[in-house]
Chains A and B, each alone.
Chain A
Amino acid sequence: MKCKKCGGTAVISMRQHNMGLCKDDFIQWLQEQTQRHIEKQKMFTHEEKVLVAVSGGKDSLALWDILLMLGYKADGLYIALGIDEGIGYSAESQRLTEEFANARDLNLHIVHLAADYGTDIPTLAKQTKRGHDKPCSSCGLVKRHEMNRIARDFGYDVLATGHNLDDEAATLFSNTLQWNGDYLLRQAPVLEERNGLARKVKPLFRFYEREMAAYALLRGIEYIYEECPFAEGSTSTHYKELLNQLENKSPGAKQHFYTKFLSAKRKGLFAEPTTEIVPNLHLCPICGQPTSAREECSFCKMMARVDSKQ
């Protein structure tokens, strides 16, 4: 296959764009497209401070790399979750993240769940009722809480995550299957700051997961290949596989599914948020972060339950 831009040998074929690109043109194309999406969605400017949530995986490290290449002021945040499961998953992902940051002399915040809260994700999952012994629910709650805390405490203008189009399409598929109206309303590449919640953006929302893996490989970014041991057999993985089957039969299906949803939302196909759908937020009396709960937030409730059992 030939590169559509220079006629050289293509290293990636993107059937949804009917295009193949060589290494240099693909890297340039992906960075330029990211810049275009950041501007079009008014995500942030070169003057603003960006906090990138990094996990040691391909998407978040690639995002950090792209933002730096585009000249943005971007620091990283890594949350040490304490997931081992016999393969040292968290230790390895932290090592790769620190290596990435050190090699480029970048500022990396690290939250240690064990040191800061005296627990880890597997323990939290066993000691709380969230997720029926599956740690993913507790893990998501911890990550959201800590990302917001660091973004707010260190004065970042925006929090960027490495969600790609496959992540977004799988979430949309899940929310559509269950007609989760409130989640559908909140699913967007930009979530504005409100009531103490940091502004959140997903600059990679238009790229396929495959393109992000290719970018990481071509840029020589070392990332953790192993899947989180708790994510094996997860619903989101299953939905991604289903969507890839659709994509295989009709290239562009995943992209259309997600982008047409965003376009339908813009055109007013979905109802405007009401007070019932978007709950009022107030500050948690323990940690001071916004919550829709009547008293303390879900994070502090979960931690209190763990403390009482220790």
Chain B
Amino acid sequence: MSGKIALMKPTATLVLRGKKYDVKAGSTILSALKKLEILPESVICVRAGELVTEDTLLQEGETIKLVSVISGG
């Protein structure tokens, strides 16, 4: 057994329409959205039931719910 310990990168979770995305904690929601190719114009971000802006820093282990705002028809 090796004496090395694998260091896990701290992550947060974004959830959009039931689909979960693991993203890097410590960065902003906006940069996570950019990496996931989700347009910030198409969602609002909810943390623990409260609306937050996209410049919010992602905390380790937290979940941000992305609410899709586009309705069609």
Contacts and interface: CB of A to CB of B under 8 A. Distances in A.
B67 A209 contact: no
Interface in A215-253: 217-218, 225, 227-228, 230-232, 234, 236-237, 240-241, 244-245, 247-248
Interface in B46-73: 46, 50-55, 67-73
A188 interface: no
A244 B73 contact: no
A235 to B, nearest CB: 8
Q: How large is the interface on B (under 10, 10 to 19, 20 to 34, 35 or more residues)?
A: 20 to 34
Q: How large is the interface on A (under 10, 10 to 19, 20 to 34, 35 or more residues)?
A: 35 or more
Contacts of B15: none
Contacts of B68: 225
Interface stretch (A6-14, A63-71, A108-116, A294-302): A6-14
Given A59-B71, A237-B73, 15 more contacts: A11-B50, A11-B51, A13-B53, A210-B43, A213-B69, A217-B46, A217-B67, A227-B71, A227-B72, A234-B73, A237-B72, A240-B70, A241-B70, A244-B39, A244-B70
B69 to A, nearest CB: 4
B25 interface: no
A12 B41 CA distance: 11
A290 interface: no
Interface in B1-42: 39-42
Nearest to A246: B41
B51 A23 contact: yes
A20 interface: yes
A242 to B, nearest CB: 11
Which of B51, B53, B67, B69 counts the most A-chain CB atoms under 10 A from its CB?
Answer: B69
A218 B68 CA distance: 15
A306 interface: no
A169 to B, nearest CB: 12
B53 A20 contact: yes
Main SS of chain B's interface residues?
mixed
Interface of B: 39-44, 46, 50-55, 67-73
Nearest to A225: B67
Interface of A: 1, 10-13, 20, 23, 57-59, 136, 139, 166, 208-210, 212-214, 217-218, 225, 227-228, 230-232, 234, 236-237, 240-241, 244-245, 247-248
The 4 closest A-B CB pairs, nearest first, are: A237-B72, A231-B73, A231-B72, A213-B69
Nearest to B34: A248
A13 B42 contact: no
A185 to B, nearest CB: 23
Contact of A247 (B41, B43, B44, B71): B41
B69 A209 contact: yes
Contact of B71 (A13, A57, A214, A218): A57
A156 to B, nearest CB: 24
Contacts of B44: 12, 210, 213-214, 217
B55 A1 contact: yes
A234 B72 contact: yes
A231 B52 CA distance: 28
Given A11-B51, A20-B53, A244 B41 contact: yes
